[in-house]
Amino acid sequence: MLQYEFMRTAFIIGGLLAIIIPLIGVVIVFKRMSMIGDALSHISLSGITIGLILGINPLIGAIVMSLIAAISIEFIQKKLGKYQEIAIAAIMSFGIGLSGVLLGFVKNPANFNSFLFGSIVAIGDNDNTLAIVLSIVVIVLSLKYYREFFYMAFDPQAAKLAGIPVDRLSLLFTMLTAITVSIASRIIGALIVSSLMVIPTACAMQFSKSYKSTMGISVILSLIFVWLGLTISYHLDIAPGGTIVLLSVVMLVFSLFYKSLRNLKHA
């Protein structure tokens, strides 16, 4: 399998994604903002269609639109106060509507479909370079602001009192989420990348007892899901994104079952 360059590339890029997605996903889960991945993924689809229509790299279109959406979500949330989830729903609805309208202008729908559920062979050299650079940026910034994101996830008000620039870092985190969703759309698929943000974290929470261990276990599980999913999809000739997510769901069911048995044992 690894004698083919496209598979080696998929394992490298997939490994990077398996690291950055949980780094973002753990914070999203603890902030109870799981739907933001869905909103940004739908917006990224509109960016992909714009890229295909204009003849530019669709990944760049996805990143630009996702970043605009991230800034918009932060702006709308500040205006809505305690009804902040409306901002995510509004942006997701806009993304779905815009993608539906623009899709009629795409000459080759097959290119668009490769972004929906992921495509190994669709990864080009330019995409590789961009994905690697942006993945490194996400990893560096996530580790640099690890403590700040931790405090913001659990208690934003206490974080403000502690002198953490919550508004600025919240925007930064949302933009990192947008970048992660955009670059994951090639292998994982735009429609299911949000699942990989949440499910490995949910699995890790069944085995871990702290924020740090949850993040570490979720990264390990994510690497397993991505690499095993790529391997299975290659041998069975099936969609890699769907395979990866199905594996993660099976693991989630197993982890919940395991935790239930453990609780019964100690009852």
Confidence at 220, pLDDT banded by 50, 70, 90: very high
Average pLDDT over residues 32-39: 78
Residue 62 in contact with residue 131, Cβ under 8 Å? no
Confidence at 224, pLDDT banded by 50, 70, 90: very high
Confidence at 120, pLDDT banded by 50, 70, 90: low
Average pLDDT over residues 8-12: 85
- Name which residue leads in pLDDT, 156 or 98: 98
pLDDT of 96 strictly over 70 = yes
Q: For residue 222, which of 18, 10, 16 has the smallest C-alpha distance? A: 18
Residue 218 in contact with residue 203, Cβ under 8 Å? yes
Classify domain 5-194 by CATH architecture: Orthogonal Bundle (1.10)
Where are the chain's structural domains? 5-194
Question: For residue range 137-183, what is the model confidence (pLDDT) as tens digits?
Answer: 888 998 888 888 888 888 878 888 888 888 888 888 888 888 888 88
